Structure 1
Amino acid sequence: MKTTAAGNAMRILLINQYAGSPNHGMEYRPYCLARQWTSSGHDVNVLAASFSHLRTRNPKVTGIAFQEEVSGIHYGWVRSPSYDGNGLLRAINMLSFPLLLSTYGWGLCRNTKPDMVIVSSPNPFTILPGYLLAKQTGAKLIFEVRDLWPLTLMELAGMSRRHPFISALQWVEDFAYRKANCVVSLLPKAEDYMVSRGMDRRKFVYIPNGCDLEEWDSTASDMPSEHADTFQRLRDQGRFIVVYAGNHGLANALDTLIDAATDLIDTSVTFVLVGKGPEKERLSRRVARQNLSNVVFLPPVLHSSLPKLLAAADACYIGLVYSPIFQYGISPNKLLDYMMAGKPIIHAIEAGNDLVAESMCGISVSPDEPSNISEAVVTLMRMDSGKREAMGRRGREYVEKNHSYEVLSNRFLELVTTTS
């Protein structure tokens, strides 16, 4: 291994139950960070569950685990049950991963002896085997917080603080804050909350979501023919195209977007919703029932197809149903994708941070008023195309300066020498 700017080459173990890759689909942050580390001469292992609802394509695993290499990154897939929605099977999937990880992880640890163990919190229970692995090998333990569990379930799903599952999550979260050498948060305003749960304030580091600039520009692939044909048809009809690309869940404020589409049914605006999720079928039925010809649903695409897909849009939409939990900030991947595409953004989110307003790359509106969204769409549609392009350029320039994975990956490496 070669020496890097951060010091000697390291062995890094990254545990993220939902980790994906260009071959599998979302989520991409683990892959993008690992790719940067690998290109700098570090040895990287990613451990993930064999099934994730976020991926476009899940790996086929026989036995307890399966290993493969993706772009020089060692992936270990731990067998886990498939599920649909948020029922019992998903809970089994969530609990089985850290249990099986304890068995599989020990073997991997004996082979690699990591210098740094990063545990990402899509499943906070994985901190337990991660802690044991780090303790056995003397590795630095980094706890990466993507969402605040169990606070998110209490705020968004209305679960009681006294529910046994919530109590278990709270114990695990507090344990992670106490035991980790460093807590990396994707939420810029979460520090005070974490301190209130027992974290030493000196452990807090903000490292937001990022974008692989080189991959975005150099590996863009054509979108599927269904998508290309749809955009071409809309373009031929002279439609102003607003794209939403991402998960179709309750939190994504897509009902409010469809309400806005209802207001704009007699205009030249078409909303194209690309992706999948638990609410997609219901939303499709609603659109059909209301006979909304200005709303089109398309299947998800691989991340490599996003640059060309978003290039076909006139504007992009992102929304989240309001929750007090957003006071701690947000860091959605799709927002960075929109900004990299250089498109003006309709940002229907009320949160502790607002990258759209900060970079002046779109219009921020309240998430619970359809009229605000429809007015923002009309404003962009009537805006001079040169002004829309300038708005989009500001978004891309902001990402290039502040959210490059090359920069963010080096900040992780610095934690090894700067944390106790």
Structure 2
Amino acid sequence: MRVGLLSQWFDPEPGPAGLPGVLARGLASRGHEVRVLTGFPNYPTGRVLPGYRMTRRADEDRDGVRIRRVALYPSHDRSALRRLATYGSFAASALASGTGALRGLDALWVSNSPITVSLPMWFVRYAHRVPVVLHVLDLWPDSVRASGFLGDGPGRALAERAMGGWCAAMYRAAARVAYISPGVGELLARRGVPEEKLVHIPMWADETPAPPSAELRAELGIADDRVVLVYAGTLGEAQGLEALIDACALTDDPRLLCLIAGSGTAEDRLRDRAEASGARNVRFLGRLPRERVPALMAAGDAHYVSLRPGGMSAYTMPSKVQATLAAGRALLVAADGDVATVARDSGAGITARPGDPSSIADGIREVCELGREKLHLLGRAGREYYTRAFSAAAGVARVEAALRQAMETRRSR
């Protein structure tokens, strides 16, 4: 097949932004002609990454994939206006300078976030008559509401209704709508997406082998007998990390060391809370370079995943769940819904009540009592579960099948 990928985020951007690249390479390795329309890489710093220079458009070939990059306004700071400029500029630029690269495709895979990507998607769908597989990686407007991006002003309800209608139009345009967890699928069905369009395609992880765990531990001066709990990711409102800080303050086991890596709107407040609460077992690492993330994953004996209770927590599946399972590490999960289910079903997780420092502290104590050796056994069970349920090979095969179904839908019409 001649298949396309439309995503604002792509390699060499790190973390979840790099996962469309895994899909592109996987489809190319299966013999498909793969074309990608994306922006110039700038996540997460808001600065164009070394080796790239912003121009109106640029084409490159990488790993058997043809990539067209288009200009955008790069920003990932706390300004809502600048973030909107980033999303809107990519959509406009992709529409004006990129859609020609997607002409003549058999099917197109689209990452739904941000939803402004719908502008080039609709053009390719209706002008070029290319059927679309829309992968719902973030629920809008739910994720925007949970992040606090909309604020609490009088226009919030109007903005949410507008985004809801926008998303509904995207779903109608797609031949297939892929969802990443059972809860998301149920929600999309309640929002009117026909059952025959829905297909479950969980997200995969970057499966780059991690270095020996001793590397970063030695660099940070962490003794071999310390049990390391890692949180790596966004330090924002939706994660509810205040409860983790409070739980660490309640834990007096001398083996515990909690490493928090990342940045976000709540970072300064979390640092102040750790100092005020006397949580001496918490160490903030800031944002690590992409190449250091595998070492951080390997250094943790268990990895912490949390979501603030209520709102989206019942059907959100943070990408760090798959990343932790793929790295063969245990999970401590303070969340409801699909995340907690994966933690239990995989055999790799300990669960706690989200937002409850006492319950989370009990989970931390269980992590410490298990010790490094038994935690590694939990991680091994998680890796086996990941291979069955979330692996890149399985994900690529599912996307390939959905693209083929979309192509056949067009032919049958």
Q: What letter is aligned with 2:388?
A: K
Determine the structure 2 residue equivalent to 1:106.
99
Contact 1:347 1:363 (C-alpha < 8 Å) held by counterparts: yes
**Is 2:345 the partner of 1:358?**
yes
Percentage of matched positions with identical amino acids: 26
Determine the structure 1 residue equivalent to 2:181.
187
Contact 1:188 1:330 (C-alpha < 8 Å) held by counterparts: no
Distance 1:12 1:55 in 2: 30
Q: What letter is aligned with 2:325?
A: M
Determine the structure 2 residue equivalent to 1:49.
39
Tell me by how many angstroms 1:340 deviates: 2.2
Distance 1:415 1:276 in 2: 36
Tell me by how many angstroms 1:155 deviates: 5.2
Q: Which of 296, 311, 336 does residue 324 from structure 1 map onto?
A: 311
**Is 2:53 the partner of 1:65?**
no
Determine the structure 2 residue equivalent to 1:14.
5
Tell me by how many angstroms 1:55 deviates: 6.2
Distance 2:296 2:144 in 1: 33
Determine the structure 1 residue equivalent to 2:274.
287
Give ranges in structure 2 of 5+ residues lacking alignment.
none
Determine the structure 1 residue equivalent to 2:198.
204
Q: Which of 362, 369, 392 does residue 375 from structure 1 map onto?
A: 362
Give the alignment of 1:19-418 within 5 angstroms. 19-21=10-12, 26-50=16-40, 52-54=42-44, 58-59=48-49, 60-83=52-75, 84-110=77-103, 113-154=104-145, 157=148, 163-212=157-206, 215-217=207-209, 220=210, 227-231=216-220, 233-235=221-223, 238-264=225-251, 267-301=254-288, 305-327=292-314, 329-353=315-339, 354-383=341-370, 385-418=372-405
Tell me by how many angstroms 1:101 deviates: 1.1
Distance 1:349 1:282 in 2: 21
- Decide whether aligned partners of structure 1 residues 417 and 123 sit closer, same or farther in structure 2, where only a CA change above 3 A counts: same
Q: What letter is aligned with 1:276?
A: S
Residue 260 of structure 2: SS of its match in structure 1? strand
Distance 2:334 2:10 in 1: 27
Residue 270 of structure 1: SS of its match in structure 2? strand
Q: What letter is aligned with 1:234?
A: I
Contact 2:229 2:301 (C-alpha < 8 Å) held by counterparts: yes
Deviations 1:45-80 (A, max 9, x none): 232333654369743433222333343333333222
Contact 1:38 1:72 (C-alpha < 8 Å) held by counterparts: yes
Q: What letter is aligned with 1:185?
A: Y
Q: What letter is aligned with 1:104?
A: S
Residue 193 of structure 2: SS of its match in structure 1? coil
Distance 1:388 1:351 in 2: 23
Determine the structure 2 residue equivalent to 1:5.
none
Contact 1:177 1:194 (C-alpha < 8 Å) held by counterparts: no
Distance 2:345 2:212 in 1: 32
TM-score with structure 1 length normalisation?
Answer: 0.86
Residue 190 of structure 1: SS of its match in structure 2? helix
Deviations 1:118-166 (A, max 9, x none): 2211111212321211333332211111122113334553767864432
Q: CA RMSD in A?
A: 2.7
Tell me by how many angstroms 1:264 deviates: 2.1
Tell me by how many angstroms 1:222 deviates: 7.9
Contact 1:32 1:405 (C-alpha < 8 Å) held by counterparts: yes
Distance 2:123 2:222 in 1: 55
Distance 1:55 1:33 in 2: 24
Q: What letter is aligned with 1:252?
A: Q
- Decide whether aligned partners of structure 1 residues 51 and 265 sit closer, same or farther in structure 2, where only a CA change above 3 A counts: farther
- Decide whether aligned partners of structure 1 residues 56 and 115 sit closer, same or farther in structure 2, where only a CA change above 3 A counts: same
Q: What letter is aligned with 2:361?
A: S
Q: What letter is aligned with 1:248?
A: L
Contact 2:115 2:167 (C-alpha < 8 Å) held by counterparts: yes
- Range 74-83 or range 172-181, more displaced: 74-83
Deviations 1:234-259 (A, max 9, x none): 225x4221111222222122211111
Contact 1:216 1:304 (C-alpha < 8 Å) held by counterparts: no
Distance 2:304 2:161 in 1: 36
- Decide whether aligned partners of structure 1 residues 63 and 383 sit closer, same or farther in structure 2, where only a CA change above 3 A counts: closer
Contact 2:214 2:299 (C-alpha < 8 Å) held by counterparts: no
Deviations 1:325-383 (A, max 9, x none): 233x2322211221122222111111245211111212111111111111111112112
Contact 2:147 2:237 (C-alpha < 8 Å) held by counterparts: no
Deviations 1:245-286 (A, max 9, x none): 222222122211111121125633111012222322332343
Distance 2:355 2:392 in 1: 33
Distance 1:28 1:307 in 2: 14
- Decide whether aligned partners of structure 1 residues 86 and 146 sit closer, same or farther in structure 2, where only a CA change above 3 A counts: farther
Q: What letter is aligned with 2:61?
A: E
Residue 37 of structure 1: SS of its match in structure 2? helix
TM-score with structure 2 length normalisation?
Answer: 0.87
Aligned residues: 400
Deviations 1:283-312 (A, max 9, x none): 234334555332111244455544432222
